[in-house]
């Protein structure tokens, strides 16, 4: 194909490539050829393969050939190419890079960005006079599509470029984008989509995402009802609903439209990764601890690596780890190397400074979290160090890809385990990298709350026909299986809340007119939509300000210092004055909350942070790596490949207890200082384990075994009780099978969900996305008690009166994979059915020590209000008696 | 069996200027000496008030609030019920009241003296709502009003919707509560959608110069919590 396609490249372009000392790459020419044939394409390529240029090349060529617009009203052209990126910064970055060929070849092409920062006069002008290429984000696309001028703006669209598609499709933003894409293809059936992606497990999921899907099940409207409903619908662009269902399929003649056959898939172009990465585990002579995530022993070795390389990226999993690692490296930094810190909670200006210094090559190393996971170009990184557990094979490969942006040279990377379990995880990840095995998540089923938001947006754009919109929505891959009932429920929700008690008809936000079309009631509703668009519901953040202690009045702290950054409000809520925590590279002492800020002072030198962790980028261990870890554990021959300290430890475990088989669940019980402990190791990640712990304690409570609490980590949980669990298990055969039986996901789960704070948080997110309540903006003052409404109260009332309401269903679907990870817990319970191995012990085993060490380090979980209150009441009593 | 005995399990005793008051899990207060039940900030029809502005909250809040109200009324079976203002979320509230809810309200009112103290949300109440409408009233030595009055007072009031937040070893809970210093009591809001104002808020400071004890409504019982144990939001 490449020789043929090379001729597609005009001379100007060939000369330009030559002038830069480049040759067009094969996949770049492939994409050019595909564009000529009107095909949508998924391009899978490793970092450094020139993906972005490949995506834009066809547009640049086409635009160069069509020549400049005369700019007269008659000659008004719509947008030619739309580029969507998950990050505002990436869109800006790509625009800058795109300007280079445009300027150097003097192409008559106008490239513009549109983000939240674009001033309103520029936005208005963009609508009036669209650029040739527009770079933006999924949220801005949603806003554009809800605009009354959307039809005019997009009608000439030829190409949509979706960057970092693998990361977009895994979240609700991907759902929103898929719906936007469906609308784009409806307005501009001639357009094709190009997806740019890192390597993924199931490229077909992404190929489906890029092209309009045939509806998976037949609409009840089609056939009998539909023709009547559709009569008098004067929408010229809408196709006949009967065969074939999608508009795109009707307008193309030659070559045959994509997916006319069984499966509707975009074409696939794969660029094979270059050299095998040079990746290894950092092997220390010293013994690693059994728990903890700080990797303190490895810091000197990491420092040496930084010193001997040009630029190093040190990836960590949580902000806490970032803070800690940064501090430790500076303690060792006798050479005064330029080592910087970058994570999402730091003040934006501080982050920008780090990014600029990095791009300019002024930094020796950056300690960073997932905020640097995505493809912004950071200059010449020649080493990646990943501290802590890799958590997922694909994640680690994408991180490694950040080093050596020239794809034909091997990237160099080190995995640094922080505890013994992480050695197992690193081993499993190394194996996966060598086999190039991927564990990116499954394709999503489109969320209903996102659909609700989209429906309102479409009503803002103009009147819509219900059946048309249903067909359009189902052409988006995540919504291909959407039932008519669910769709109707979402429309009803948007209109009046969709409650069985039809109390709000007269307040409806969208109404059906005499022409059978639905439209927004008034401009205020459209305004409301614009303020609430998007699927990212930030948990409220609160600024952290450095305070100054008054020397004259000890104990008085004035808010006189600078802002250090932001932390989650719910983290701040759990702090009490005097608590110390790590933030912005320092140990801070929490002084209190003044106005809308956390006030903190620098803790004295040598103070250890008391509050162990705040959430922020905790990834669960992927199912795939977990299975590999279990396999390594189960097979003693595999142990040879582990460092000796690990093998020794596993042999000890085998002597004292047992090492479980790959599909077994080992449950150990043992007494310890007047308490009875039960530990188990499902390896399903912290979130699923938290849920398991909550449900197990409920069941133990009912069994009158008086559970006192539990702790969880990524590998297992430890439950402690004042009742003898082992004794009960000995007296009642089958007790443990019963305890771990799958029916805990029935009533027990339901009962817990009624009061679970995690579930309420999940519900809140759905309520905001669906538009039930208005978004609160960061920095906006908390308004009076009458103006705001707590979604917790709404949750309680709705759950009681309409447990099957569409919003609760949306929240439950989220809970299955999100904060509660119920789905994974369910898979685990099914796997271990009949395979529980109980080992009663007289003391803690080597394996159990690791999770026991989390006690006191991690929070003890509880949603039981009375327990907390009783403790607070008792504290008062103690005070009185003291 | 007297109301006192019947409710021994679920109530929590406090004293207001030498007078016994029973705090109920619903958020109501029973004064045995007057055989009177006090409730505050019912905020009926808050849901529909929001719906008018495009936020379609589940339309079941009035039902839910009535359920709690009738639960307390039927258990204590008092001669007098006094609602301490903001019984409706807005002036149009009584009109929007559903038929079913209207009937329930009438049933609860039946056979007792019913007094609506007006609040800032419901300055005017239609006659059709039943009972007597007053701006404030005296009950023995106690003054009952919607908004607490500054300075030293012997009063029971609402308006502020107090909630208390407790954090113990990283776990936290936020519950509605009664605040009292033994002479004044600010009652929690009973309305299903009535949010809360943290007891540490500056609004409470002028009312309780010498501090207060917060009586937090738990799931099974009420807990007396020292002011020093309460946290800000």
Domain residues of chain A, as ranges? 2-213+264-270, 278-435, 448-532, 541-602, 664-868
Read off the pLDDT of residues B65-108 as tens digits, 9 standing for 90 and up.
999 999 999 999 999 999 999 999 999 999 999 999 999 999 99
Residues of chain B neighbouring A793 (CB-CB closer than 8 A): 192-195
- Choose the most confident range, by mean pLDDT, from A310-324, A694-708, A825-839: A825-839
* A743-752: average pLDDT: 86
Does the distance separating the beta carbons of A873 and B223 come in below 8 Å? yes
Q: Answer whether A801 sits within 8 Å of B64, measured CB to CB.
A: yes
Q: How far is A800 from chain B (nearest CA, A)?
A: 9
Decide if B195 and A504 are in contact by the 8 Å CB cutoff: no
Q: How many CB atoms lie within 10 A of CB A395?
A: 21
* Residue from the list A524, A574, A793 with its beta carbon closest to the beta carbon of B192: A793
- Residue-level pLDDT at B189: 97
The pairing of beta strand B36-39 with beta strand B80-83 = parallel
Helices A51-66 and A26-36: crossing angle in degrees, nearest 10, is 40
Across the interface, whether the CB atoms of B170 and A574 are under 8 A apart is answered yes
When comparing pLDDT for A403 and A316, which is higher? A316
Minimum distance, in Å, between the CA of residue B30 and any CA atom of chain A: 23
Q: What is the pLDDT of residue A746?
A: 87
Say if residue A430's pLDDT is above 60: yes
- Kindly identify which residue of chain B lies nearest to residue A527, measuring between CA atoms: B54
Architecture of domain A278-435: 3-Layer(aba) Sandwich (3.40)
pLDDT at position A418 is 86
What are the φ/ψ torsions at residue A304 (nearest 5 degrees)? -60, -40
Question: Given pLDDT bands bounded at 50, 70 and 90, which one contains residue A618?
Answer: low
Identify the pLDDT of residue A314. Answer: 92
The pLDDT of residue B86:
96
Higher model confidence: residue A216 or residue A75? A75
pLDDT tens digits, residue range A690-736? 889 888 988 998 899 988 778 888 889 999 888 999 999 999 999 99
- A523 compared with A291, residue with greater pLDDT: A523
pLDDT at A246 over 50: no
| Residues A820-843, mean pLDDT to the nearest whole number | 91
**Amino acid A59: pLDDT:** 96
In A547-585, DSSP assigns E strands to 548-549, 557-558, 563-568, 580-583
Reply yes or no on whether the pLDDT at B180 is more than 90: yes
Residue A234 has pLDDT above 60, yes or no: no
Cα–Cα distance between A526 and A544 in angstroms, integer? Answer: 35
Mean pLDDT of chain A: 83
* CB-count burial class (<10 Å; 0-12, 13-18, 19+) for A332: middle
Which ranges of A497-599 does DSSP label H, i.e. alpha helix? 523-532, 569-573
pLDDT at A438: 83
Taking an 8 Å cut-off on Cβ atoms, the answer to whether B59 and A499 are in contact is yes
- Please check whether the two domains, A2-213+264-270 and A278-435, share a CATH topology: yes
Domain range B13-229, CATH class: alpha beta
Check if the beta carbon of residue B220 is closer than 8 Å to that of residue B93. Answer: no
Residue A452: list chain B partners with CB under 8 A.
Answer: none
In Å, the largest CA–CA distance within chain B is 52
In terms of Cα–Cα distance, which of A62, A12, A5 is closest to A29? A5
What's the pLDDT at A346?
Answer: 78
Superfamily of domain A2-213+264-270 in the CATH hierarchy? P-loop containing nucleotide triphosphate hydrolases (3.40.50.300)
Of all residues in chain A, the percent with pLDDT exceeding 90 is: 45
Q: How far from the centroid of its chain's Cα atoms is residue A140's Cα? A: 19
Closest chain A residue to B203 measured between Cα atoms? A784
Mean pLDDT comparison of A544-548, A642-646, A708-712, highest-scoring range: A642-646
- Cα B42 from Cα B66, distance rounded (Å): 9
| Tokens (6 digits) for B69 | 């109200």
Instruction: Supply the pLDDT for residue B6.
Output: 52
pLDDT of residue A251: 35
ipTM, 2 decimals? 0.91
Rounded Cα distance, A213 and A141, in Å: 20
pLDDT of residue B47 exceeding 90: yes
pLDDT category at B2 given cuts 50, 70, 90 is low
């Amino acid at each position: 194909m490449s020789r043929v396609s090379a001729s597609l490249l005009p001379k100007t372009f060939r000369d330009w490539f030559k002038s830069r000392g480049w040759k067009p790459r094969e996949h770049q020419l492939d994409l050019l050829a595909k564009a000529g044939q009107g095909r949508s394409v998924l391009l899978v390529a490793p970092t450094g393969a020139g993906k972005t240029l490949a995506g834009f090349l066809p547009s640049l060529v086409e635009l160069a050939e069509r020549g400049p617009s005369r700019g007269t009203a008659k000659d008004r052209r719509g947008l030619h190419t739309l580029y969507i990126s998950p990050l505002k910064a990436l869109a800006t970055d790509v625009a800058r890079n795109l300007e280079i060929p445009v300027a150097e070849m003097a192409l008559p092409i106008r490239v513009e960005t549109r983000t939240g920062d674009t001033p309103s006069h520029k936005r208005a002008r963009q609508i009036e006079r669209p650029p040739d290429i527009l770079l933006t984000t999924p949220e801005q696309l949603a806003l554009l599509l809800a605009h009354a001028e959307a039809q005019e703006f997009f009608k000439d669209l030829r190409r949509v470029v979706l960057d970092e598609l693998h990361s977009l499709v895994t979240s609700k933003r991907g759902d929103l984008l898929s719906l936007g894409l469906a609308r784009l293809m409806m307005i501009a059936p001639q357009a094709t989509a190009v997806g740019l992606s890192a390597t993924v497990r199931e490229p077909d999921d992404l190929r489906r995402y890029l092209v309009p899907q045939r509806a998976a099940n037949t609409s009840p409207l089609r056939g009998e009802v539909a023709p009547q409903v559709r009569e008098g619908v004067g929408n010229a662009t809408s196709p006949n609903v009967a065969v074939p269902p999608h508009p795109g399929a009707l307008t193309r003649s030659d070559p045959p439209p994509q997916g006319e056959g069984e499966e509707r898939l975009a074409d696939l172009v794969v660029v094979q990764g270059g050299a095998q990465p040079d990746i290894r585990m950092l092997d220390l002579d010293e013994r690693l601890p059994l728990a903890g995530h700080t990797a303190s022993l490895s810091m000197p070795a990491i420092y040496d690596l930084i010193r001997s390389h040009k630029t190093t990226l040190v990836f960590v999993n949580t902000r806490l780890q970032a803070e800690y690692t940064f501090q430790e490296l500076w303690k060792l930094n006798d050479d005064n190397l330029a080592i910087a810190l970058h994570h999402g909670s730091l003040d934006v200006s501080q982050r920008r400074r780090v990014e600029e210094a990095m791009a300019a090559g002024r930094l020796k190393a950056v300690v960073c979290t997932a905020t640097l996971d995505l493809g912004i170009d950071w200059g010449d990184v020649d080493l990646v160090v990943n501290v802590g557990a890799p958590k997922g094979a694909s994640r680690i490969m994408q991180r490694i890809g950040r080093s050596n942006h020239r794809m034909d040279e091997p990237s160099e990377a080190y995995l640094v385990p922080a505890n013994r379990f992480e050695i197992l995880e690193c081993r499993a990840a190394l194996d996966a990298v060598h086999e190039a095995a991927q564990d990116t998540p499954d394709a999503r089923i489109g969320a209903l709350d996102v659909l609700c938001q989209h429906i309102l947006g479409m009503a803002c754009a103009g009147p819509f026909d219900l059946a048309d919109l249903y067909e359009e929505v189902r052409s988006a891959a995540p919504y291909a299986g959407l039932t008519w009932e669910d769709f109707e429920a979402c429309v009803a929700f948007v209109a009046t809340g969709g409650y069985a008690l039809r109390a709000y008809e007269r307040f409806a936000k969208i109404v059906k007119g005499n022409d059978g079309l639905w439209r927004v009631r008034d401009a205020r509703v459209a305004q409301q939509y614009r303020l609430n668009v998007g699927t990212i519901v930030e948990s409220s953040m609160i600024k952290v300000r450095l305070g100054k202690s008054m020397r004259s009045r000890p104990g008085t702290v004035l808010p006189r210092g600078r802002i250090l950054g932001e932390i989650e409000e719910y983290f701040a809520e759990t702090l009490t004055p005097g608590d110390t925590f790590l933030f912005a590279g320092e140990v801070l002492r929490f002084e209190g909350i003044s106005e809308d800020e956390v006030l903190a002072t620098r803790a004295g030198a040598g103070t250890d942070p008391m509050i162990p962790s705040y959430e922020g980028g905790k990834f669960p261990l992927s199912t795939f790596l977990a299975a590999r870890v279990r396999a390594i554990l189960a097979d003693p021959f595999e142990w040879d490949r582990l460092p000796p300290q690990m093998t020794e430890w596993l042999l000890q475990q085998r002597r004292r207890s047992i090492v479980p088989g790959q599909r077994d669940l080992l449950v150990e019980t043992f007494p310890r200082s007047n308490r009875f402990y039960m530990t188990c190791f499902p390896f399903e990640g912290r979130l699923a384990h938290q849920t398991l712990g909550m449900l197990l304690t409920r069941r133990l409570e009912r069994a009158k075994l008086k559970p006192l609490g539990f702790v969880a980590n990524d590998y297992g949980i430890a439950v402690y009780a004042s009742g003898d669990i082992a004794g009960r298990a000995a007296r009642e055969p089958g007790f443990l099978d019963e305890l771990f039986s799958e029916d805990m996901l029935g009533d027990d789960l339901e009962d817990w969900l009624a009061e679970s704070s995690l579930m309420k948080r999940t519900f809140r997110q759905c309520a905001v996305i669906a538009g039930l309540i208005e978004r609160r903006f960061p920095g906006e003052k908390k308004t009076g008690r009458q103006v705001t409404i707590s979604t917790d109260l709404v949750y309680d009332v709705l759950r009681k009166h309409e447990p099957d309401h569409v919003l609760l269903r949306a929240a439950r679907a989220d809970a299955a994979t999100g904060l509660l990870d119920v789905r994974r817990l369910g898979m685990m319970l099914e796997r271990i059915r009949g395979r529980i191995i109980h080992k009663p012990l007289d003391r803690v085993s080597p394996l159990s020590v690791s999770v026991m060490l989390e006690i006191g380090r991690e929070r003890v979980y509880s949603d039981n209000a009375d327990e907390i209150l009783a403790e607070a009441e008792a504290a008062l009593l103690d005070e009185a008696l003291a | 069996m007297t109301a006192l005995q019947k409710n021994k399990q679920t109530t929590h005793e406090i004293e207001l200027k030498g007078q016994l008051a029973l705090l109920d899990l619903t958020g109501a207060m029973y004064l045995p000496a007057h055989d009177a039940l006090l409730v505050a900030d019912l905020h009926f029809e808050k849901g529909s008030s929001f719906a008018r502005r495009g936020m379609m909250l589940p339309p079941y809040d009035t039902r839910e609030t009535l359920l709690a109200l009738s639960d307390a009324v039927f258990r204590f079976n008092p001669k007098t019920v006094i609602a301490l203002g903001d019984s409706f979320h807005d002036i149009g509230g009584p009109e929007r009241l559903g038929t079913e809810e209207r009937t329930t309200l009438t049933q609860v009112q039946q056979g007792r003296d019913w007094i609506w103290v007006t609040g800032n949300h419901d300055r005017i109440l239609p006659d059709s709502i039943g009972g007597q409408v007053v701006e404030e009233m005296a009950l023995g030595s106690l003054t009952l009003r919607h908004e607490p009055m500054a300075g030293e007072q012997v009063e029971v009031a609402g308006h502020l919707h107090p909630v208390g937040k407790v954090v113990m070893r990283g776990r936290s809970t936020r519950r509605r509560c009664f605040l009292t210093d033994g002479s004044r009591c600010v009652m929690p809001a009973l309305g299903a959608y009535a949010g809360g104002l943290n007891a540490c808020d500056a609004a409470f400071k002028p009312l309780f110069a010498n501090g207060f004890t917060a009586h937090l409504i738990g799931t099974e019982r009420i807990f007396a919590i020292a002011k020093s144990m309460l946290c800000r939001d």
